[in-house]
Structure 1
């Protein structure tokens, strides 16, 4: 998304705490038009951005309320007055995690270099609105399995509205999908646009 926005003529900064992700992004076509920063929202300059995008459900990695409120405060600081925050989160009412557990089924992916990878997911625990899961990958041919575990927080529309208001954002719109559907009538997403008060 960063390179597409840069190609469209926007001044874009991409911030990510994962150095490997930044290095991969910098190899993409059009990456030279993006200013890349290794860090988090805390490392963003103050009052520097018209828009902050948190993509690919990254909003869900902030499991604890303290962490979530902290990132909202940092984004608020980095936005100009009237600047907007946009992000996506899976709607907990859609219970997406029920489809994640592979139940032994595995997918095989062909990577650009010709390598094949077999992947599967295992839901480890659902506690309230926090889902812990393991993603398994085996590069073929081979026996070694790489496993990464993670936890995601599913916040309801009401929780999102409350937390955004507490961080001095005005919610402009929350839809239930990418075509502006009402919450509960889309694809199980919560697509949020809020404005810095």
Structure 2
């Protein structure tokens, strides 16, 4: 039962980070969303808010990496198209006021440990996507990693621009450009 409470608290923290970031996240909200008693905070997270935020980002980072490691496609273009289709619902949530739970950690640059957690998560996402691109036919690992980094950068950037615009249009524009670039570079002649 206590593992369940801890897990629910982490899930609630991920959602709070996506909506309000680290500074806007409150224990009252986490406890209410998780259906946990007040004493659960320091029982499960003796390090307080920082520990809860770190655990939420670690879980969210691992979950995203697992999804990216399974992006289907038998060509680089198909992998990019499927990546964009996979992240589209997440970006739609950004247009409605959401965001990236991992990126929320980078807004507190004074906390080096949280920034490093975010950096490792982004690196793992890039690696997972690069591995999919290599498996789909990108011949050079360096090119696959560069393309993957561009796609992760596109994802993180459109979280912000779609949230600001209140629409998914910035994502649609960036997605069309990314697909066109990959088609030009990796489609058979």
Above 0.5 in TM-score? no
Q: Which has the higher contact order (CA 8 A, sep 6+)?
A: 2
Q: Normalized per residue, which structure has more helix? A: 2
Q: Normalized per residue, which structure has more strand? A: 1
Scaled by the length of structure 2, what TM-score is found? 0.29
